[in-house]
Amino acid sequence: MKSNLIVFISLILISIPAIKDLFISGGFTSHDLTHHVIRQISMDKLLSEGQFPPRWSGELNNGYGYPVFLFNYPLPAMVGEISHKMGLGYVDSVKAVLFASMIGSVLGMYLFLNALLGSKPSAFLGAIFYLYAPLRFLTVYVSSAVGSALALGILPFVFWSLVEISKGKKWASLVGGVSLAGLILAHNVTALIFAPVILASAWGIGGIRKIRGIGMMFFLGLGLSAWFWLPALFEAQYTRFGEVFGKFYQDQFPSLWQLIRSPWGYGLSHPQNPESGDMSYQLGLIHIGVMLILVGLVWVMKRIREIREIGGFALALFGLSVFLMLKISLPLWENIPFLSMVQFPLRFQAWSVFAASIAAALLVKYLPFKKLLVLSLLFLVIYANRNHWHINEVFAPGENYYLNLKTTSTSYGEHLPKWGKIMDQPAVGKLEFIKGQGDIGIIMNKSDEIVAEVAVDSGGKLRLNQTYFPGWNIEIDGQKTNFDYLSNPDLIGTDGESYGLMTFDIEEGIHLVRAQFKNTPVRNLADGISLISVIVFLYAGYNKRFYKK
């Protein structure tokens, strides 16, 4: 235990260059940091309103509403909320998640590799290789893809749990279940990318002999996260996601040379037509180097089962990741439906980094001159990434700047319903007369519930300034009322489109109007599965006889 503590402290100290720029005051220019700060603000508001699970923001999309956490991974903002409640601002709360993702990843990878190979020096170097990789700095400092960063921080704990399950550790099923759920909630695309790797590892590491422990891990992981992934899966049919990203990957394939060497930049991804300052696609020369050495090691020492199986797995994973990032794999992208959801082929570079980390660990375990090898590779991998662990420019407009932003928090508003639209102008209010006149007095104004007393001078029509999405329900004086959201040519703008805003008739008099964003049947089912999973988790954690059953 004491030796592990010393290793953890050493890993954290070596991680300082990688994380130090996160301590620079204020935000920084990047692809997505602003989006995540807006989501952090939304998460704080929704939870303070009592909306759990958080799904619908009534303020985003210029006050017309957006299903922000119905489809966008919620865990980063939930983790950030802990920091916010401890006193950090919204920007620093998001940066705290990035910090946790990097520290968590290096510690988690050490635990995994040490359990897998039984060698502390090997695990130590493999963990550093997992952190000091161009992709990791691209994710944090260039794109600020907080969900992807957090998922890569959680991922090693999933594999560590699988190894411990294979050794008969009963607690590992619970840790693995929570880790798997965390991976899905942190970034569903990363979870999708690694799903076949996790399944293959579960079979290879545990096999049929540990089917109970592995089954429990997957049951808990999928069950605890069902409240998010199940509605997102079934209700994506209503959104513009397929329209926006259906063929997005087609011009996102880097060349083989770009994977080997491409200049570091902070711009966007244009691999087919790169411009000066665009983002880099490099795998990392040192990471490529250890994979090449591993080829020779597997060839020479293939009689050793650990080298043959684990080394062969790492080589296959690395090779497949490179293949899927190149345009030669386009037929697969065109014919395998889930691949289009990945959007960027470069995301498969996460496989490469994972494989190279295992490779570095294997080299240390089986090659001679271990101390010299560890020190040499440690120096080389850190030195090779010396230009990558920096932010581009400080951007610190203050918290009010972000509080006043009411965008969709996504680049293309891809989770708007097909009948919706990104609104350019802010909503006048949650309720508005479009025919007739009267007074509207708002009694309750929450994202998922609006209550108003409406005095109508003569029969008219009201508009709820929220984009319709399945789950919205409107009542007048306690009675459910019909509304229209598709065919209202006199509602808004000059193009004759309703933009999915809900309108309904109202009679003369004083009425109590209540609009609520309720659960659909699939959301109720998902919430129920997650609740049952929580109960099973707690029961399993406190009752040792559960494992015997």
SS (H, E, C) 23-51: HCCCEECCCCHHHHHHHHHHHHHHHHCCC
User: Which of 38, 500, 522, 528 shows the shortest CA–CA distance to 232?
Assistant: 522
pLDDT score of 315 more than 50: yes
Q: How far apart are CA 89 and CA 93, in angstroms?
A: 6
- Mean residue pLDDT of the chain comes to 92
On whether both 368 and 464 belong to a single domain, the answer is no
Provide the angle, in degrees to the nearest 10, between the axes of the packed helices 2-14 and 90-117: 130
Residues 6+ apart with CB under 8 A from 549: none
- Residue 220 burial (10 A CB sphere; 0-12, 13-18, 19+): buried
- Report residue 272's pLDDT band, with 50, 70 and 90 as the boundaries: confident
Q: Give the integer Cα–Cα distance in Å for 549 and 545.
A: 7
Q: Which residue has the higher pLDDT, 231 or 547?
A: 231
Q: Are 148 and 139 in contact (CB under 8 A)?
A: yes
Q: What is the CA radius of gyration of the chain?
A: 26
CA distance 116 to 162: 10
Tell me the mean pLDDT in the region 211-224. Answer: 92
Q: For 532-539, what is the mean pLDDT? A: 92
State whether 359 and 476 are in the same domain: no
Question: Is 111 found in the same domain as 16?
Answer: yes
Cα gap 62→65, rounded to integer Å = 7
Tell whether 509 and 371 lie within a shared domain.
no
Q: What percent of the chain has pLDDT over 90?
A: 79
- Rounded Cα distance, 206 and 481, in Å: 56
Average pLDDT, stretch 167-172? 88
Q: Is the same domain home to 383 and 472?
A: no
First and final CA of the chain: distance in angstroms? 32
Q: Is the pLDDT of residue 53 over 80?
A: yes
Mean pLDDT value of segment 471-499: 76
Query: What are the C-alpha distances in Å from 293 to residues 205, 314, 356, 368, 530?
Result: 24, 12, 11, 13, 45
Return the pLDDT at 206: 67
Whether 258 is covered by a domain: the verdict is: yes
Lookup: tokens for 88: 């950090």
Tens of pLDDT, residue by residue over 337-368, are 888 889 899 999 999 999 999 999 999 999 99
**Residue 547, in any domain of the structure:** no
* Domains: count for the chain: 2
Give the lowest-confidence range in 219-223, 430-434, 543-547.
543-547
Residue pLDDT, tens place only, 243-271: 888 788 899 999 999 999 999 999 988 89
Q: Which of 499, 434, 429 is nearest to 461 (CA)?
A: 434
The confidence score (pLDDT) of residue 488 equals 56
Q: Does residue 490 surpass a pLDDT of 80? A: no
- 202-210 own/partner pairs: CB under 8 Å, 24+ apart: 202/162, 204/309, 204/313, 205/162, 205/163, 205/165, 205/166, 206/162, 206/165, 206/166, 207/166, 210/165, 210/166, 210/168
In a domain, 542, yes or no: no
Q: Is the pLDDT score of 181 beyond 80?
A: yes
Give yes or no: residues 505 and 446 share one domain.
yes
Based on the fold, state whether residues 317 and 459 are members of the same structural domain: no
Given 403, 420, 453, which residue is the final one in a domain?
403
Using the predicted structure, report yes or no on whether residue 58 has a pLDDT greater than 70: yes
Token pair of 59 as six digits: 């303020």
Angle at alpha carbon of residue 200, lines to 194 and 205, rounded to 5°: 120
Residues facing residue 394 across a β-bridge: 28
Query: Across residues 46-75, what is the average pLDDT?
Result: 96
**Same domain, residue pair 80 and 123:** yes
Q: Which H/E stretch holds residue 71? A: helix 68-71
Q: Which domain holds residue 503?
A: 431-518
The answer, yes or no, to whether the previous bond of 470 is cis (omega within 30 of 0) is no
Confidence band for 494, pLDDT divided at 50, 70 and 90: very low
Task: Quick: pLDDT tens for 140-162.
Answer: 999 999 999 999 999 999 999 99
Q: 431 phi and psi, to 5 degrees?
A: -125, 145
Report the pLDDT value the prediction gives residue 52, as an integer from 0 to 100. Answer: 94
Domain assignment present for 485: yes
pLDDT of residue 273: 85
Residues 61 and 148 placed together within one structural domain of the fold: yes
CATH value at residue 512: 2.60.40
pLDDT, position 247: 85
pLDDT of residue 547 exceeding 90: no
Residues 203 and 348 in one domain: yes
Per-residue model confidence (pLDDT) at position 69: 97
> What pLDDT shows up at residue 475?
96
Question: What 3-state class would DSSP assign to 168?
Answer: coil
Do 384 and 442 lie in one domain? The reply is no
Coil/strand/helix, residue 420: coil
> What pLDDT band is residue 548 in, cutting at 50, 70 and 90?
low
Beta strands (DSSP E) in 408-459 are 431-435, 438-446, 449-456
- Residue 464 shares a structural domain with residue 386: no
358-399 pLDDT, tens digit per residue, is 999 999 999 999 999 999 999 999 999 999 999 999 999 999
Helical H segments across 118-270, by residue range: 120-131, 134-137, 146-166, 171-186, 188-201, 211-224, 226-235, 241-245, 256-260
Tell which wins on pLDDT, 427 or 185.
185
Residue 546 pLDDT greater than 70, yes or no: no
Residues 110-127: pLDDT tens digits? 999 999 999 999 999 999
pLDDT at 3: 72
Supply the DSSP symbol for 236: G
